[in-house]
Amino acid sequence: MLRNSELAELLAVEAESAAHPAQRALRRASRRAFLWEVEAAQLLQKGRSLTELSGVGPYIEKKILTWLDNPPSIPETPPIRRGFLALTDARREIDEKPGWLESIRGDLQMHTTWSDGSGSIAEMADAASERHYEYVAITDHSKGLKIAGGIDETQLQRQAVEIEAINATRSDVSRKTAVLRSIELNLNPLGQGDMDPASLQKLDLVLGCFHSSLRKKEDQTDRYLAALHNPNIHILGHPRGRIYNFRTGLHADWAKIFATAAELDKALEIDGYPDRQDLDVDLLRIARVAGMRISLGTDSHGPGQLRFMEFAAAAALLAGIRNDRILNFMSKDELLGWADNVRSRTHPASQQIRDQNKRQKRQTC
């Protein structure tokens, strides 16, 4: 039986020689195959039409039926599409460890209408409450990424007021998910952020991400080491910068990067967005040996995308990452304690600022 991940590859290969508009339809179906909630072959066995699947019309259905009836050999997957899990694959892995997904206490990357998301902070928090999360981190883009509606220091402070108000109204048991202040800090190739460090000190934690020069072929180890040594960063998000069938991402000495992250007690992310899945399982196995911390984030841009945690969770399980190395298994207080610890180690003056902010907050309560 051909699995959805194999059908995705066959669709992508077919697209390479197809003319428009078939090429576009095949590429779209290839991406969407990763989100099909049932194996196409099983759907067919139940006597149902494959056009029930997202991205599948009569033309695509005919192609898939031909492959399912007479399975071709699957060509070697090129790097630009290698190592991506289909949702059905992820769920099979998660089902092998009952209760593991439900033990995750929060999501550490998501976007709202403050930048390029479609949901408000309150709507994202409500979606997290439905998943029984203890906390979520709001990581809207910072000002340097204008194409994604990045926010500046003044907007970040205004967002803080909104988050404080939302947290104040979510005290009852059924709406207990705490909203943490964070940001997806845009990093340049030197590992430097685009926001005033003083504004970052007031956040609960900072996710740093590269968004430029992501197609370089030469080794990029130095940029990662610089980012990890940036005193304002706790988590390095979607590290390779890969996107399915669009960009392979950067190359580096990952063992050295992971060892440095472990030494600094910083985390690298598994971005669960289906087109990213970054870090992938192969790199995560190297990370496991290094003993570094891992952060799970869905990179959600709307409430319905919090379900992408299944991709991040399955990757961690497949790589054998221990729960005690994953930030998302920490309680909120443990997570914030770790974040403060990282700050005090890499930026001693920041702890004084944090203590001052806490005193001011108590005085206004």
Closest CA to 138 of 116, 168, 107, 166: 107
Q: What is the predicted pLDDT for the residue at 345?
A: 84
The predicted model gives 180-198 an average pLDDT of 96
Q: What is the predicted pLDDT for the residue at 347?
A: 63
SS3 134: coil
Identity at 219, one-letter amino acid code: D
How far, in Å, CA of 224 to CA of 230, rounded? 10
- Is 173's pLDDT higher than 60? no
Residue 220 class from Cβ within 10 Å (0-12 exposed, 13-18 middle, 19+ buried)?
buried
Q: What is the predicted pLDDT for the residue at 309?
A: 98
pLDDT digits (tens, 9 = 90+) for 260-309: 999 999 999 999 999 999 999 999 999 999 999 999 999 999 999 999 99
CB contact set of 195 (below 8 Å; sequence gap of 6+): 142, 143, 152, 153, 156, 183, 185
Lowest mean per-residue pLDDT among 151-160, 257-266, 309-318, 349-358: 349-358
Closest CA to 310 of 86, 64, 105: 86
- Is 175's pLDDT higher than 90? no
- Is 354's pLDDT higher than 90? no
Q: Where are the beta strands (DSSP E) in the chain?
A: 106-107, 135-138, 178-181, 184-187, 207-210, 235-236, 267-271, 293-297
Greatest distance between any 2 Cα atoms in the chain = 72
Closest CA to 252 of 288, 280, 217: 217
User: Who has greater pLDDT, 146 or 141?
Assistant: 141
What's the chain's average pLDDT? 93
How far, in Å, CA of 180 to CA of 163, rounded? 8
CA-to-CA separations, 363 to 216, 247, 290, 357, in angstroms, rounded: 50, 50, 43, 10
Dihedrals phi, psi of 53, to nearest 5 degrees? -80, 140
Please work out, in degrees rounded to the nearest 5, the angle formed at the alpha carbon of residue 299 by the alpha carbons of 159 and 181: 25
Question: Residue 169: pLDDT band by 50, 70, 90 thresholds?
Answer: confident
The predicted model gives 132-147 an average pLDDT of 95
Predicted structure pTM score: 0.93
Q: What is the predicted pLDDT for the residue at 365?
A: 38
The predicted model gives 339-363 an average pLDDT of 65
Lowest mean per-residue pLDDT among 150-164, 174-188, 225-239, 325-339: 174-188
Instruction: Write the DSSP string, 167-212.
Output: HHT--SGGG-PEEEE--EEEE-TTS--SS-HHHHTTSS--EEEE-S
- Is 232's pLDDT higher than 70? yes
**354, 201 contact by CB (below 8 A):** yes
pLDDT digits (tens, 9 = 90+) for 6-58: 999 999 999 999 999 999 999 999 999 999 999 999 999 999 999 999 999 99
Compute the radius of gyration of the chain from its Cα atoms: 21
**237, 276 contact by CB (below 8 A):** no
Question: Residue 362: pLDDT band by 50, 70, 90 thresholds?
Answer: very low
Dihedrals phi, psi of 240, to nearest 5 degrees? -75, -25
Q: What is the predicted pLDDT for the residue at 355?
A: 55
Question: Residue 364: pLDDT band by 50, 70, 90 thresholds?
Answer: very low
- Is 319's pLDDT higher than 50? yes
How far, in Å, CA of 19 to CA of 2, rounded? 25
Q: What percent of the chain has pLDDT over 70?
A: 93
Q: What is the predicted pLDDT for the residue at 195?
A: 96
